[in-house]
Amino acid sequence: MMTIQLIKGEFSASDALGIITNLIQTKIKYHEQKISSDMSEEDIKFREKKIKKLQEDLSEVKKHIAGIPGNVALASHVNIE
């Protein structure tokens, strides 16, 4: 297994929100690009469901970060197996 540290540190609320927003938007864009006319309706709905969940998660993140006084601690890593 390989682990990559993507984010680790304390950030202002606006910087933390910017980082998370960019990560989520990148994942949304990935799913949007994977949707094609030759996909089955089931596959398209699956991707659309993932996109909607990511959008909901981002909305929740915005609310959560708004309630944190001072800096926001972020940590994120990817495990590759």
Residues forming beta bridges with residue 60, ordered by sequence position = none
Give the predicted TM-score (pTM) of the model: 0.86
pLDDT tens-digit readout, 3-12: 999 999 999 9
- Residue 39 has a pLDDT of 81
- Residue 38 has a pLDDT of 77
* DSSP string computed for 11-63: E-HHHHHHHHHHHHHHHHHHHHHH--TTS-HHHHHHHHHHHHHHHHHHHHHHH
d(CA 81, CA 11): 30
pLDDT tens-digit readout, 11-56: 999 999 999 999 999 999 999 988 887 788 899 999 999 999 999 9
- Of the candidates 16, 2, 30, the one whose C-alpha atom is nearest the C-alpha of residue 58 is 16
pLDDT tens-digit readout, 61-81: 999 999 999 999 999 999 999
Domain chopping of the chain, boundaries: 2-80
Coil, helix or strand for 76? strand
